[in-house]
Amino acid sequence: MLSTAAPRQLALALAHEESFARADFLPGASNADALALIARWPDWPDRALALAGPQGSGKSHLAAIWAEIAGARFLSARALGEADLLAELATGALVVEDVAGQFNERALFHLINLVREEEAWLLITARTAPVGWTVALPDLASRLRAIPAVTIAPPDDALLGAVLLKLFADRQIAVDENLIGYLLTRIERSFAAAGEAVDALDREALRLKRPVTRALAAEMFQRGA
């Protein structure tokens, strides 16, 4: 018993880093349009493109795939207004991640103009498409309406099931189809919810020194764990 428990406890102590390699991206109907547009670069409809989708939908993964292809740098939306935007465009391509809520509108307006002037490329990630953002700067609103956007939809059963299997496999946990089928009927339709469910099951299995099974999942959901 001790020899089998030790590796599992070690796995719990280590961070489970997400791979953003192209080979690790799981395609499906919900992200097909976004993946196709990323793969089409530099044959884009505009110098700037927006990638929208809920938390955990794969935006960062797709952005990383594009950054590898285009040699793009990354800039957090929170850093807009603090960074030297011209220097950030030094490689000719830039990802601005997670634009949400309050941000420096003038800095984003200036960045979009710079991208066009420098004939650079810009990929913006956000939870919603820019055309629906509420901004106070009229000129920025006009720029945002002109930016093509592609939205990632919630995953279907096939894709979400594949994600669950991969998340378990990343932790070296072997599971059967009964568990995957059960989880698909209990969790929200998002990659974020899938990650939370896998993490919770792994922790509970370690705590109880039990395998990760449908029975364990049912017990957890029945008591609201």
Whole-prediction pTM value? 0.79
pLDDT tens across 40-83, in order?
A: 999 999 999 999 998 878 899 999 999 999 999 999 999 998 88
Residue spans of the domains in the chain: they are 24-151, 155-222
Share above pLDDT 70 across residues of the chain, in percent, rounded to a whole number: 89
Q: DSSP for the chain, please give it.
A: -HHHHHHHHHHHHS--PPP--GGG----TTTHHHHHHHHHTTS-SSSEEEEE--TTSSHHHHHHHHHHHHT-EEEEGGGTTTS-HHHHTTTSEEEEEEE-SS--HHHHHHHHHHHHHTT-EEEEEESS-GGG---S-HHHHHHHHHS-EEEPPPP-HHHHHHHHHHHHHHTT----HHHHHHHHTTS-SSHHHHHHHHHHHHHHHHHHT----HHHHHHHHHTT-
Q: Which CATH architecture is the domain 24-151 placed in? A: 3-Layer(aba) Sandwich (3.40)
| 155-222: CATH, from 1.10.3470, 2.40.10, 3.40.50, 1.10.8 | 1.10.8
